[in-house]
Structure 1
Protein backbone atom coordinates (compact mmCIF):
# COMPACT_ATOMS: atom_id res chain seq x y z
CA UNK A 1 0.00 0.00 0.00
CA UNK A 2 2.74 2.50 0.95
CA UNK A 3 4.86 1.68 -2.09
CA UNK A 4 1.87 2.11 -4.39
CA UNK A 5 0.94 5.43 -2.81
CA UNK A 6 4.51 6.72 -3.20
CA UNK A 7 4.38 5.81 -6.91
CA UNK A 8 1.05 7.62 -7.23
CA UNK A 9 2.50 10.70 -5.55
CA UNK A 10 5.64 10.68 -7.72
CA UNK A 11 3.57 10.30 -10.89
CA UNK A 12 1.37 13.18 -9.78
CA UNK A 13 4.23 15.55 -9.05
CA UNK A 14 6.41 14.70 -12.06
CA UNK A 15 4.97 17.21 -14.51
CA UNK A 16 6.37 19.91 -16.75
CA UNK A 17 5.80 22.75 -14.31
CA UNK A 18 7.61 20.98 -11.48
CA UNK A 19 10.51 19.90 -13.69
CA UNK A 20 11.04 23.49 -14.84
CA UNK A 21 11.04 24.63 -11.21
CA UNK A 22 13.60 21.98 -10.25
CA UNK A 23 15.84 22.88 -13.20
CA UNK A 24 15.76 26.51 -12.10
CA UNK A 25 16.71 25.50 -8.55
CA UNK A 26 19.62 23.45 -9.88
CA UNK A 27 21.03 25.87 -12.46
CA UNK A 28 20.11 29.48 -11.68
CA UNK A 29 22.23 30.24 -8.62
CA UNK A 30 25.40 28.38 -9.75
CA UNK A 31 25.16 30.16 -13.12
CA UNK A 32 24.82 33.58 -11.49
CA UNK A 33 27.66 32.72 -9.11
CA UNK A 34 29.91 31.63 -11.97
CA UNK A 35 29.59 34.94 -13.80
CA UNK A 36 30.17 36.83 -10.56
CA UNK A 37 33.42 35.01 -9.70
CA UNK A 38 35.05 33.99 -12.99
CA UNK A 39 37.09 37.19 -13.33
CA UNK A 40 37.25 38.26 -9.70
CA UNK A 41 39.13 35.44 -7.97
CA UNK A 42 42.47 33.71 -8.28
CA UNK A 43 42.08 29.98 -8.89
CA UNK A 44 44.94 27.56 -8.37
CA UNK A 45 42.94 24.40 -9.08
CA UNK A 46 39.76 23.47 -10.92
CA UNK A 47 38.49 22.38 -7.52
CA UNK A 48 38.81 25.98 -6.33
CA UNK A 49 36.26 26.95 -8.96
CA UNK A 50 33.86 24.29 -7.69
CA UNK A 51 34.27 25.51 -4.12
CA UNK A 52 33.47 29.07 -5.17
CA UNK A 53 30.44 27.98 -7.20
CA UNK A 54 28.96 26.55 -4.01
CA UNK A 55 29.50 29.66 -1.92
CA UNK A 56 27.25 32.67 -1.28
CA UNK A 57 23.74 31.96 -2.63
CA UNK A 58 23.32 28.22 -2.09
CA UNK A 59 24.75 28.05 1.47
CA UNK A 60 22.71 31.08 2.54
CA UNK A 61 19.40 29.92 1.03
CA UNK A 62 19.86 26.17 1.36
CA UNK A 63 16.85 25.37 3.64
CA UNK A 64 14.59 27.54 1.49
CA UNK A 65 15.73 25.88 -1.74
CA UNK A 66 15.06 22.35 -0.52
CA UNK A 67 11.67 23.32 0.92
CA UNK A 68 10.67 24.65 -2.50
CA UNK A 69 11.30 21.25 -4.10
CA UNK A 70 8.09 19.62 -2.84
CA UNK A 71 7.04 20.69 0.66
CA UNK A 72 5.10 23.73 -0.51
CA UNK A 73 2.81 21.45 -2.54
CA UNK A 74 1.34 20.13 0.71
CA UNK A 75 0.11 23.59 1.67
CA UNK A 76 -2.56 23.56 -1.02
CA UNK A 77 -3.84 20.17 0.13
CA UNK A 78 -4.21 21.44 3.68
CA UNK A 79 -6.07 24.57 2.58
CA UNK A 80 -8.47 22.56 0.42
CA UNK A 81 -9.07 19.93 3.14
CA UNK A 82 -7.90 17.32 0.63
CA UNK A 83 -6.68 15.09 3.45
CA UNK A 84 -10.22 14.55 4.74
CA UNK A 85 -11.28 13.12 1.37
CA UNK A 86 -8.26 10.84 0.99
CA UNK A 87 -8.87 9.27 4.42
CA UNK A 88 -11.90 7.52 2.96
CA UNK A 89 -9.75 5.37 0.68
CA UNK A 90 -6.23 5.57 2.19
CA UNK A 91 -5.17 5.13 5.83
CA UNK A 92 -4.04 8.47 7.22
CA UNK A 93 -0.66 7.08 8.33
CA UNK A 94 0.00 5.71 4.83
CA UNK A 95 -0.98 8.98 3.21
CA UNK A 96 1.24 11.15 5.43
CA UNK A 97 4.17 8.72 5.24
CA UNK A 98 3.94 8.67 1.44
CA UNK A 99 4.13 12.46 1.46
CA UNK A 100 7.16 12.42 3.75
CA UNK A 101 8.88 9.74 1.67
CA UNK A 102 8.22 11.53 -1.62
CA UNK A 103 9.46 14.77 -0.11
CA UNK A 104 12.62 13.04 1.12
CA UNK A 105 13.34 11.42 -2.24
CA UNK A 106 12.83 14.55 -4.32
CA UNK A 107 14.63 16.95 -1.97
CA UNK A 108 17.58 14.54 -1.76
CA UNK A 109 17.84 14.30 -5.56
CA UNK A 110 17.57 18.04 -6.17
CA UNK A 111 20.03 18.93 -3.38
CA UNK A 112 22.43 16.33 -4.81
CA UNK A 113 22.28 17.83 -8.29
CA UNK A 114 22.52 21.41 -6.98
CA UNK A 115 26.02 20.35 -5.91
CA UNK A 116 26.99 17.68 -8.43
CA UNK A 117 26.16 19.64 -11.62
CA UNK A 118 28.53 22.53 -10.66
CA UNK A 119 31.15 19.90 -9.75
CA UNK A 120 30.92 18.29 -13.20
CA UNK A 121 31.05 21.70 -14.86
CA UNK A 122 34.03 22.92 -12.83
CA UNK A 123 36.08 19.73 -13.08
CA UNK A 124 35.26 18.34 -16.53
CA UNK A 125 33.51 20.92 -18.75
CA UNK A 126 35.15 24.25 -17.91
CA UNK A 127 38.71 22.98 -18.63
CA UNK A 128 37.65 22.42 -22.25
CA UNK A 129 36.04 25.85 -22.45
CA UNK A 130 39.02 27.60 -20.85
CA UNK A 131 36.95 30.45 -19.41
CA UNK A 132 38.73 30.52 -16.05
CA UNK A 133 42.48 31.01 -15.83
CA UNK A 134 44.45 28.91 -13.35
CA UNK A 135 47.46 30.50 -11.70
CA UNK A 136 50.59 28.74 -10.43
CA UNK A 137 50.71 28.66 -6.65
CA UNK A 138 54.21 30.22 -6.54
CA UNK A 139 54.48 29.30 -2.90
CA UNK A 140 51.01 30.53 -1.95
CA UNK A 141 49.29 28.12 0.45
CA UNK A 142 46.25 26.33 -0.96
CA UNK A 143 43.32 26.58 1.49
CA UNK A 144 42.26 22.97 1.81
CA UNK A 145 38.69 22.45 3.02
CA UNK A 146 36.76 19.71 4.80
CA UNK A 147 35.85 16.71 2.61
CA UNK A 148 39.03 17.18 0.58
CA UNK A 149 40.30 14.32 2.74
CA UNK A 150 38.32 12.20 0.26
CA UNK A 151 40.40 13.30 -2.72
CA UNK A 152 42.71 10.32 -2.25
CA UNK A 153 39.81 8.33 -3.76
CA UNK A 154 39.93 10.51 -6.89
CA UNK A 155 38.10 13.63 -8.05
CA UNK A 156 34.88 11.91 -9.15
CA UNK A 157 34.38 9.84 -5.97
CA UNK A 158 35.01 13.01 -3.95
CA UNK A 159 32.38 14.87 -5.97
CA UNK A 160 29.83 12.08 -5.67
CA UNK A 161 30.31 11.52 -1.94
CA UNK A 162 30.24 15.21 -1.14
CA UNK A 163 27.11 15.73 -3.29
CA UNK A 164 25.47 12.81 -1.48
CA UNK A 165 26.24 14.56 1.80
CA UNK A 166 24.58 17.78 0.61
CA UNK A 167 21.63 15.75 -0.68
CA UNK A 168 21.24 14.02 2.67
CA UNK A 169 21.24 17.34 4.53
CA UNK A 170 18.78 18.81 2.05
CA UNK A 171 16.47 15.88 2.66
CA UNK A 172 16.69 16.49 6.42
CA UNK A 173 15.75 20.17 6.24
CA UNK A 174 12.91 19.47 3.79
CA UNK A 175 11.62 16.71 6.09
CA UNK A 176 11.77 19.07 9.05
CA UNK A 177 9.64 21.60 7.17
CA UNK A 178 7.03 19.04 6.11
CA UNK A 179 6.75 17.52 9.59
CA UNK A 180 6.22 20.98 11.06
CA UNK A 181 3.64 21.71 8.38
CA UNK A 182 1.74 18.54 9.28
CA UNK A 183 1.93 19.35 12.99
CA UNK A 184 1.30 23.10 13.06
CA UNK A 185 -0.93 23.49 9.98
CA UNK A 186 0.36 27.08 9.77
CA UNK A 187 2.31 27.25 6.49
CA UNK A 188 4.28 30.47 7.02
CA UNK A 189 5.52 29.47 10.49
CA UNK A 190 6.19 25.83 9.58
CA UNK A 191 8.14 26.66 6.42
CA UNK A 192 10.09 29.44 8.15
CA UNK A 193 11.31 27.44 11.14
CA UNK A 194 13.95 25.35 9.27
CA UNK A 195 15.48 28.51 7.81
CA UNK A 196 15.39 30.29 11.17
CA UNK A 197 16.92 27.24 12.85
CA UNK A 198 19.66 27.18 10.21
CA UNK A 199 20.47 30.88 10.64
CA UNK A 200 20.28 30.84 14.44
CA UNK A 201 22.50 27.80 14.89
CA UNK A 202 24.99 29.33 12.47
CA UNK A 203 25.01 32.54 14.50
CA UNK A 204 25.23 30.82 17.90
CA UNK A 205 28.06 28.46 16.97
CA UNK A 206 30.07 31.25 15.39
CA UNK A 207 29.40 33.66 18.28
CA UNK A 208 30.64 31.01 20.75
CA UNK A 209 33.73 30.33 18.65
CA UNK A 210 32.65 26.88 17.47
CA UNK A 211 32.50 27.68 13.76
CA UNK A 212 33.43 24.09 12.89
CA UNK A 213 29.99 22.98 14.14
CA UNK A 214 28.04 25.58 12.21
CA UNK A 215 25.43 23.92 9.92
CA UNK A 216 26.46 26.01 6.93
CA UNK A 217 30.18 25.21 7.39
CA UNK A 218 29.53 21.50 7.86
CA UNK A 219 27.43 21.32 4.70
CA UNK A 220 29.35 23.90 2.65
CA UNK A 221 32.80 24.05 4.31
CA UNK A 222 34.37 26.43 1.83
CA UNK A 223 34.86 29.47 4.07
CA UNK A 224 36.63 27.66 6.89
CA UNK A 225 39.93 25.80 7.16
CA UNK A 226 39.83 22.03 6.82
CA UNK A 227 38.30 20.36 9.88
CA UNK A 228 38.26 16.70 11.00
CA UNK A 229 35.52 14.80 9.22
CA UNK A 230 33.76 13.89 12.47
CA UNK A 231 32.82 17.55 13.06
CA UNK A 232 30.26 17.52 10.24
CA UNK A 233 28.19 14.86 12.02
CA UNK A 234 27.54 16.95 15.16
CA UNK A 235 24.92 19.36 13.72
CA UNK A 236 23.64 16.55 11.48
CA UNK A 237 23.01 14.36 14.53
CA UNK A 238 21.21 17.17 16.37
CA UNK A 239 18.98 17.74 13.35
CA UNK A 240 18.29 14.01 13.12
CA UNK A 241 17.21 13.92 16.79
CA UNK A 242 14.85 16.85 16.17
CA UNK A 243 13.29 14.99 13.24
CA UNK A 244 12.80 11.85 15.34
CA UNK A 245 11.04 13.89 18.04
CA UNK A 246 8.81 15.62 15.48
CA UNK A 247 8.04 12.28 13.84
CA UNK A 248 6.99 10.66 17.11
CA UNK A 249 4.88 13.68 18.02
CA UNK A 250 3.09 13.57 14.67
CA UNK A 251 2.48 9.84 15.04
CA UNK A 252 0.88 10.32 18.44
CA UNK A 253 -1.31 13.26 17.45
CA UNK A 254 -2.15 12.83 13.76
CA UNK A 255 -5.58 11.24 14.28
CA UNK A 256 -6.57 14.00 16.70
CA UNK A 257 -5.17 16.64 14.38
CA UNK A 258 -6.91 15.41 11.24
CA UNK A 259 -10.30 14.52 12.69
Structure 2
Protein backbone atom coordinates (compact mmCIF):
# COMPACT_ATOMS: atom_id res chain seq x y z
CA UNK A 1 0.00 0.00 0.00
CA UNK A 2 2.97 2.30 0.57
CA UNK A 3 3.68 2.39 -3.15
CA UNK A 4 0.06 3.24 -3.88
CA UNK A 5 0.16 6.10 -1.38
CA UNK A 6 3.28 7.49 -3.05
CA UNK A 7 1.60 7.15 -6.45
CA UNK A 8 -1.43 9.09 -5.14
CA UNK A 9 0.85 11.78 -3.71
CA UNK A 10 2.76 12.15 -6.99
CA UNK A 11 -0.51 12.24 -8.92
CA UNK A 12 -1.70 15.22 -6.84
CA UNK A 13 1.56 17.15 -7.20
CA UNK A 14 0.12 19.03 -10.14
CA UNK A 15 0.80 22.57 -11.43
CA UNK A 16 -2.36 23.64 -9.58
CA UNK A 17 -0.87 22.36 -6.31
CA UNK A 18 2.31 24.35 -6.95
CA UNK A 19 0.30 27.41 -7.97
CA UNK A 20 -1.78 27.27 -4.79
CA UNK A 21 1.42 27.03 -2.71
CA UNK A 22 3.08 29.90 -4.57
CA UNK A 23 0.04 32.18 -4.42
CA UNK A 24 -0.39 31.51 -0.71
CA UNK A 25 3.28 32.31 -0.07
CA UNK A 26 3.18 35.49 -2.15
CA UNK A 27 -0.02 36.66 -0.47
CA UNK A 28 1.33 36.08 3.03
CA UNK A 29 4.69 37.79 2.41
CA UNK A 30 3.17 40.68 0.42
CA UNK A 31 0.70 41.46 3.18
CA UNK A 32 3.49 41.32 5.78
CA UNK A 33 5.64 43.71 3.72
CA UNK A 34 2.76 46.19 3.46
CA UNK A 35 1.77 45.85 7.10
CA UNK A 36 5.32 46.21 8.46
CA UNK A 37 5.70 49.64 6.85
CA UNK A 38 3.46 51.08 9.56
CA UNK A 39 5.32 49.63 12.54
CA UNK A 40 8.63 49.83 14.34
CA UNK A 41 9.81 46.32 15.15
CA UNK A 42 12.15 44.79 17.68
CA UNK A 43 13.92 42.18 15.56
CA UNK A 44 13.54 39.52 12.91
CA UNK A 45 11.49 37.31 15.23
CA UNK A 46 8.85 40.01 15.40
CA UNK A 47 8.96 40.34 11.63
CA UNK A 48 8.43 36.57 11.38
CA UNK A 49 5.35 36.98 13.55
CA UNK A 50 4.15 39.74 11.19
CA UNK A 51 4.51 37.39 8.24
CA UNK A 52 2.46 34.60 9.81
CA UNK A 53 0.05 36.46 12.05
CA UNK A 54 -1.78 38.39 9.34
CA UNK A 55 -4.31 36.56 7.17
CA UNK A 56 -2.99 33.03 7.64
CA UNK A 57 -4.59 32.32 11.06
CA UNK A 58 -8.00 33.16 9.56
CA UNK A 59 -7.73 31.32 6.24
CA UNK A 60 -5.78 28.38 7.70
CA UNK A 61 -8.68 25.84 7.65
CA UNK A 62 -9.64 26.97 4.14
CA UNK A 63 -6.17 26.29 2.77
CA UNK A 64 -6.01 22.88 4.46
CA UNK A 65 -9.16 21.90 2.56
CA UNK A 66 -7.94 23.27 -0.78
CA UNK A 67 -4.69 21.26 -0.78
CA UNK A 68 -6.35 17.86 -1.32
CA UNK A 69 -9.85 17.53 0.13
CA UNK A 70 -11.47 19.85 -2.42
CA UNK A 71 -10.51 17.57 -5.32
CA UNK A 72 -11.31 14.48 -3.23
CA UNK A 73 -14.83 15.82 -2.70
CA UNK A 74 -15.26 15.81 -6.47
CA UNK A 75 -14.30 12.13 -6.57
CA UNK A 76 -16.84 11.38 -3.83
CA UNK A 77 -19.52 13.43 -5.59
CA UNK A 78 -19.03 11.45 -8.82
CA UNK A 79 -18.87 8.14 -6.87
CA UNK A 80 -15.34 7.42 -8.06
CA UNK A 81 -14.57 5.55 -4.83
CA UNK A 82 -17.32 3.00 -5.47
CA UNK A 83 -15.92 2.24 -8.94
CA UNK A 84 -12.50 1.35 -7.48
CA UNK A 85 -13.96 -1.74 -5.76
CA UNK A 86 -13.15 -3.78 -8.85
CA UNK A 87 -9.44 -3.17 -8.24
CA UNK A 88 -9.21 -3.13 -4.44
CA UNK A 89 -11.43 -2.93 -1.31
CA UNK A 90 -13.00 0.47 -0.90
CA UNK A 91 -11.58 0.82 2.62
CA UNK A 92 -8.08 0.36 1.22
CA UNK A 93 -8.77 3.14 -1.28
CA UNK A 94 -9.93 5.38 1.55
CA UNK A 95 -6.80 4.71 3.61
CA UNK A 96 -4.57 5.44 0.60
CA UNK A 97 -6.31 8.73 -0.09
CA UNK A 98 -6.40 9.71 3.58
CA UNK A 99 -2.64 9.15 3.93
CA UNK A 100 -1.96 11.02 0.69
CA UNK A 101 -4.11 13.88 1.97
CA UNK A 102 -2.20 14.02 5.26
CA UNK A 103 1.23 13.81 3.58
CA UNK A 104 0.49 16.47 0.95
CA UNK A 105 -1.04 18.89 3.45
CA UNK A 106 1.88 18.37 5.83
CA UNK A 107 4.44 19.04 3.08
CA UNK A 108 2.48 22.06 1.83
CA UNK A 109 2.44 23.79 5.22
CA UNK A 110 5.86 22.70 6.42
CA UNK A 111 7.53 24.16 3.34
CA UNK A 112 5.31 27.26 3.49
CA UNK A 113 6.17 28.11 7.09
CA UNK A 114 9.84 27.29 6.65
CA UNK A 115 10.18 29.53 3.58
CA UNK A 116 8.46 32.33 5.52
CA UNK A 117 11.04 31.83 8.28
CA UNK A 118 13.91 31.98 5.80
CA UNK A 119 12.47 35.16 4.30
CA UNK A 120 12.06 36.85 7.69
CA UNK A 121 15.43 35.83 9.10
CA UNK A 122 17.78 35.74 6.12
CA UNK A 123 16.29 37.60 3.14
CA UNK A 124 14.42 40.60 4.56
CA UNK A 125 17.40 41.90 6.63
CA UNK A 126 19.41 42.22 3.39
CA UNK A 127 16.57 43.97 1.59
CA UNK A 128 15.84 46.36 4.46
CA UNK A 129 12.05 46.41 4.26
CA UNK A 130 11.26 46.67 7.97
CA UNK A 131 12.38 49.28 10.48
CA UNK A 132 14.06 47.87 13.60
CA UNK A 133 14.58 49.89 16.77
CA UNK A 134 15.16 47.42 19.63
CA UNK A 135 16.27 50.25 21.90
CA UNK A 136 12.75 51.63 21.83
CA UNK A 137 11.63 48.41 23.52
CA UNK A 138 14.35 48.60 26.16
CA UNK A 139 16.45 46.00 24.40
CA UNK A 140 20.20 45.99 23.88
CA UNK A 141 22.65 43.68 22.15
CA UNK A 142 23.16 41.99 25.51
CA UNK A 143 19.54 41.16 26.34
CA UNK A 144 17.70 41.00 23.01
CA UNK A 145 18.53 37.34 22.46
CA UNK A 146 17.29 36.36 25.92
CA UNK A 147 14.11 38.36 25.25
CA UNK A 148 13.26 36.17 22.27
CA UNK A 149 13.30 33.06 24.46
CA UNK A 150 10.33 34.31 26.49
CA UNK A 151 8.38 36.29 23.89
CA UNK A 152 5.93 33.83 22.33
CA UNK A 153 4.94 30.22 22.82
CA UNK A 154 7.43 27.92 21.06
CA UNK A 155 10.19 30.57 21.09
CA UNK A 156 11.56 28.68 24.10
CA UNK A 157 13.06 26.52 21.35
CA UNK A 158 15.25 29.40 20.18
CA UNK A 159 17.60 28.52 23.03
CA UNK A 160 18.61 25.53 20.89
CA UNK A 161 19.18 27.62 17.77
CA UNK A 162 17.10 29.35 15.12
CA UNK A 163 17.23 26.34 12.80
CA UNK A 164 15.88 24.07 15.55
CA UNK A 165 13.09 26.53 16.24
CA UNK A 166 12.21 26.95 12.56
CA UNK A 167 12.08 23.21 11.87
CA UNK A 168 10.10 22.28 14.99
CA UNK A 169 7.65 25.17 14.65
CA UNK A 170 7.13 24.44 10.94
CA UNK A 171 6.55 20.80 11.95
CA UNK A 172 3.96 21.91 14.51
CA UNK A 173 1.96 23.99 12.01
CA UNK A 174 2.18 21.22 9.42
CA UNK A 175 0.91 18.61 11.92
CA UNK A 176 -2.09 20.77 12.74
CA UNK A 177 -2.78 21.37 9.06
CA UNK A 178 -2.65 17.63 8.38
CA UNK A 179 -5.03 17.04 11.28
CA UNK A 180 -7.57 19.56 9.94
CA UNK A 181 -7.24 18.03 6.47
CA UNK A 182 -7.88 14.56 7.90
CA UNK A 183 -11.05 15.68 9.68
CA UNK A 184 -12.22 17.49 6.54
CA UNK A 185 -11.61 14.30 4.58
CA UNK A 186 -14.18 12.41 6.66
CA UNK A 187 -16.67 15.28 6.67
CA UNK A 188 -16.71 15.08 2.87
CA UNK A 189 -17.57 11.38 3.20
CA UNK A 190 -20.28 11.83 5.83
CA UNK A 191 -22.05 14.94 4.52
CA UNK A 192 -23.86 14.72 1.19
CA UNK A 193 -23.90 18.48 0.62
CA UNK A 194 -20.48 19.07 -0.92
CA UNK A 195 -20.38 22.81 -0.23
CA UNK A 196 -21.38 22.34 3.41
CA UNK A 197 -18.79 19.60 3.91
CA UNK A 198 -16.00 21.81 2.58
CA UNK A 199 -17.18 24.89 4.50
CA UNK A 200 -17.83 23.20 7.83
CA UNK A 201 -14.17 23.09 9.02
CA UNK A 202 -13.90 26.87 8.64
CA UNK A 203 -17.30 27.47 10.24
CA UNK A 204 -16.47 25.27 13.24
CA UNK A 205 -13.01 26.87 13.48
CA UNK A 206 -14.49 30.39 13.75
CA UNK A 207 -17.33 29.41 16.08
CA UNK A 208 -14.96 27.53 18.39
CA UNK A 209 -12.62 30.53 18.60
CA UNK A 210 -15.40 32.90 19.66
CA UNK A 211 -16.88 30.32 22.03
CA UNK A 212 -13.55 29.84 23.83
CA UNK A 213 -13.10 33.60 24.09
CA UNK A 214 -16.56 33.99 25.63
CA UNK A 215 -15.76 31.19 28.11
CA UNK A 216 -12.54 32.94 29.12
CA UNK A 217 -10.54 30.08 27.61
CA UNK A 218 -8.84 32.27 25.04
CA UNK A 219 -5.54 30.52 25.66
CA UNK A 220 -6.94 27.42 23.92
CA UNK A 221 -8.48 29.12 20.90
CA UNK A 222 -7.64 27.25 17.73
CA UNK A 223 -5.85 30.04 15.89
CA UNK A 224 -3.69 30.95 18.88
CA UNK A 225 -2.36 27.46 19.60
CA UNK A 226 -1.07 27.28 16.01
CA UNK A 227 0.01 30.91 15.57
CA UNK A 228 0.81 32.11 19.13
CA UNK A 229 2.05 35.60 18.31
CA UNK A 230 -0.50 37.85 20.01
CA UNK A 231 -0.17 36.65 23.60
CA UNK A 232 2.48 36.18 26.22
CA UNK A 233 4.39 32.92 26.22
CA UNK A 234 2.65 29.82 27.55
CA UNK A 235 4.11 26.42 28.52
CA UNK A 236 4.65 24.13 25.57
CA UNK A 237 2.13 21.56 26.79
CA UNK A 238 -0.89 23.88 26.54
CA UNK A 239 -1.16 24.04 22.71
CA UNK A 240 -1.30 20.25 22.68
CA UNK A 241 -4.65 20.16 24.50
CA UNK A 242 -6.78 21.31 21.50
CA UNK A 243 -4.51 19.28 19.23
CA UNK A 244 -5.16 16.07 21.17
CA UNK A 245 -8.92 16.72 21.22
CA UNK A 246 -8.97 17.16 17.44
CA UNK A 247 -6.76 14.09 17.03
CA UNK A 248 -9.25 12.03 19.05
CA UNK A 249 -12.06 13.29 16.80
CA UNK A 250 -10.10 12.17 13.74
CA UNK A 251 -9.43 8.76 15.28
CA UNK A 252 -13.13 8.36 16.12
CA UNK A 253 -14.04 9.09 12.50
CA UNK A 254 -11.47 6.57 11.32
CA UNK A 255 -12.67 3.91 13.78
CA UNK A 256 -16.30 4.47 12.78
CA UNK A 257 -15.53 3.93 9.10
CA UNK A 258 -13.39 0.89 9.88
CA UNK A 259 -16.14 -0.73 11.96
CA UNK A 260 -18.88 0.09 9.47
CA UNK A 261 -17.41 -0.77 6.08
CA UNK A 262 -20.85 -1.55 4.69
CA UNK A 263 -21.81 2.11 5.09
CA UNK A 264 -18.89 3.41 3.08
CA UNK A 265 -20.79 2.97 -0.18
CA UNK A 266 -23.61 5.14 1.13
CA UNK A 267 -21.09 7.73 2.37
CA UNK A 268 -19.47 7.95 -1.02
Question: Which category describes the TM-score, using the shorter chain as reference length?
Answer: over 0.9
- SS at structure 1 position matched to 2:132: coil
Distance in 2 (CA, whole Å) between partners of 1:7 and 1:211 is 39
Question: For structure 1, which segment, 49-58 or 79-88, has the greater mean C-alpha deviation from structure 2 after superposition?
Answer: 79-88
Unpaired runs of at least 5, structure 2: 140-146
- Structure 2 partner of 1:125: 123
Equivalences for 1:1-259 in 2 at 5 Å?
2-25=1-24, 27-140=25-138, 144-258=151-265
Partner Cα separation in structure 2 for residue 99 and residue 115 of structure 1? 24
Deviations 1:135-189 (A, max 9, x none): 0334547681111111100111111111100000000001100011122233222
Which digits, 9 at most, give the CA deviation of each residue in 1:96-127, with x for residues without a partner?
00100000001111111221111100001111
Tell me, in whole angstroms, the C-alpha distance in 2 between the residues paired with 1:157 and 1:95: 36
- How many residue pairs get matched? 257
Judged with a 3 Å threshold, the aligned counterparts in structure 2 of structure 1 residues 213 and 33 are, in CA distance, closer, same or farther, namely same
Query: TM-score, normalized by length of structure 1?
Result: 0.93
Task: State the superposition RMSD in angstroms.
Answer: 1.7
5+ unaligned residues in a row in structure 1: which ranges?
none
Give the TM-score normalised by structure 2: 0.90
- Residues in 2 aligned to 1:87 and 1:42: alpha-carbon distance in whole angstroms: 60
